[in-house]
Chain A
């Protein structure tokens, strides 16, 4: 595939270790002035198999369309991109947890997207840069893995609509997605339902609500066991595998309507409903930090004050 800048994309996706990409993430790459050295990176990469799902082109097509559609309003791209990336790069969680694939996409397939989406504002004549963690970083920060995982953690079986809700409030991706409590699907869905109600009511600064709610749910989760209050069904692994296998002949993800996710089981309605009143109460009692007072030219550094980033498993 020929790119407008003359370089050619590899037909198949690959994997790049953190060590092999770290040295190429420099200022010039982070600001988009230079493309990471393609030849060196491709030589260092391990190529994935010949399956359709590892083809580069469908991912690149989505990237181009995201940048075209959301020109000038880049944060809105997440809600469109996340479900379509998830439905295009069909894989298991074990595969997605391997950061090497995400490194490859950010460094070889679409470094321009990373900069387009995550570039900071220009300061004193110096061009704004995307942080290194957007190229190679944890699952909730890296430019592509955060989208894939947002879709994976917030989808309700094959229904990606909750993912769109989650992406509507950036703080959900930035704060909520780091928390271990949302690995319990009914908890994740109930948080979104409570937020949806706030959004529908036209609350100002929904991000503050999302942060307060996530912090409260996470804190309460150290004494309340949501798994018992709201039992979840185990995911249907076979259905997931079928969906992944279908990638061989599946059509490209649609642009104007939502794709369909794996039919590996919906979250129990009763379980979500059991949690909603608890979360409503937690939010009502939670201190909501008003960030509107802090206005300046600088965007919020999204300090997680009042939000514990500690996951329960950190203590294990």
Chain B
């Protein structure tokens, strides 16, 4: 969002960098900090229980602009927050010898659940008013508490379970179904029913095999992927947060990845935010919602490689028939 401020703000870039992280006074391996993704992976194998992480930060800023500008009492404030836990921690940064602003912010594991956002606000007295926001870091960082590598995109979980007799009670009603896609959680999950179709699991798991086996595997995988993409899309466009003027905003996590990837195919030629606005309009007002479905199906099909796999399947059927006819 580009906000308009009724007073002069900083024009130049304020850049935040996480230099190092210590967890319970032990340094986190540098591989757990990704500058390109602006992400820190705190939850790693072998160190599940920890209490406190300290993040050492460094901020670069347009020094000449700030020193000559109309701002006084300039404060650089690092803000660590997480919406799910309503947590908010701040730390005032101080000037270091190399001209950057540096400081340490603490993250208590009991106050955070999934992912904390780390930003920087530049605060100053402007035109006689203290405490005004005059700038912020161009991009925030994210601290993941439930990821083993510092990546912000999550994959899909695939769970093989017997719907009828397995541990998941809620799957019982779907016992006739070969698979179910569940998208309410943090990670979308495909439940494959080991009890529904005899031999399907073997076919899905195999590699190589006869052309007919390959065909079956590809088609089943395509079908499952198509269902998963469609379900993920619908979940991602529902329940969106909006900003002040009612514009829907891209969600976070996998929902964002799904929308960014599929929206260009659902409504071609539009920016993701514009496409999202259009979709929400149609969904809430009811017009043109049916037409969207074609786009969703197309986008899901592309991602599940439906056309390619179907083409291969048709060819193998033709080959089988050809072989049969020659006999």
Residues of A within 8 A of B (CB): 17-20, 22-23, 40, 43-44, 92-94, 96-98, 139, 149, 152-153, 180, 183-184, 222-229, 232, 234-235, 237, 240-241, 308, 310-311, 313-316
Q: Which residues of A contact B249 (CB under 8 A)?
A: 314-315
For B86, give its contact among A18, A20, A153 (CB under 8 Å): A153
Query: In the assembled complex, how far is the CB of residue A257 from the closest CB belonging to chain B, in whole angstroms?
Result: 27
Q: Which residues of B contact A92 (CB under 8 A)?
A: 110-111
B294 contacts partner chain A, Cβ-Cβ < 8 Å: no
B76-87 vs A, Cβ < 8 Å mask (1 yes, 0 no): 010101011111
For B87, give its contact among A20, A44, A93, A310 (CB under 8 Å): A93
- Of chain B, the residue at the smallest CB distance from A185 is B88
For A229, give its contact among B86, B130, B243 (CB under 8 Å): B130
B89 x A237 contact (CB < 8 A): no
For B90, give its contact among A93, A153, A180, A227 (CB under 8 Å): A227
B88 x A310 contact (CB < 8 A): no
B108 contacts partner chain A, Cβ-Cβ < 8 Å: yes
B131 x A226 contact (CB < 8 A): yes
Q: Which residues of B contact A228 (CB under 8 A)?
A: 75, 77, 123, 130-131
Q: Which residues of B contact A94 (CB under 8 A)?
A: 85, 109-113
A183 x B132 contact (CB < 8 A): no
- Of chain B, the residue at the smallest CB distance from A278 is B131
- Of chain B, the residue at the smallest CB distance from A227 is B90
B111 x A184 contact (CB < 8 A): no
Residues of B within 8 A of A (CB): 1, 3, 5-7, 51-52, 75, 77, 79, 81, 83-90, 106, 108-113, 117, 119, 121, 123, 129-133, 140, 168-170, 182, 184-185, 241-244, 249
Q: Which residues of B contact A314 (CB under 8 A)?
A: 241, 243, 249
For A19, give its contact among B1, B131, B170 (CB under 8 Å): B170
25 contacts between A and B (CB under 8 A): A17-B184, A18-B184, A18-B185, A19-B184, A94-B109, A96-B85, A97-B84, A97-B85, A97-B113, A180-B83, A180-B86, A223-B5, A224-B129, A224-B132, A224-B133, A225-B121, A232-B90, A234-B89, A241-B110, A308-B244, A311-B83, A313-B81, A314-B241, A315-B249, A316-B119
- Of chain B, the residue at the smallest CB distance from A232 is B90
* Measured CA separation A274–B121 after assembly (Å): 20
* Measured CA separation A311–B3 after assembly (Å): 14
For A225, give its contact among B51, B131, B185, B243 (CB under 8 Å): B131
Query: In the assembled complex, how far is the CB of residue B212 from the closest CB belonging to chain A, in whole angstroms?
Result: 36
* Measured CA separation A234–B182 after assembly (Å): 39
- Of chain B, the residue at the smallest CB distance from A16 is B170
B133 x A310 contact (CB < 8 A): no
A313 x B117 contact (CB < 8 A): yes
* Measured CA separation A314–B84 after assembly (Å): 12
Q: Which 9 pairs of residues, A with B, have the shortest CB-CB distance? A: A92-B110, A183-B88, A229-B131, A44-B169, A93-B85, A20-B170, A97-B84, A97-B85, A315-B1
For B133, give its contact among A97, A225, A232, A241 (CB under 8 Å): A225
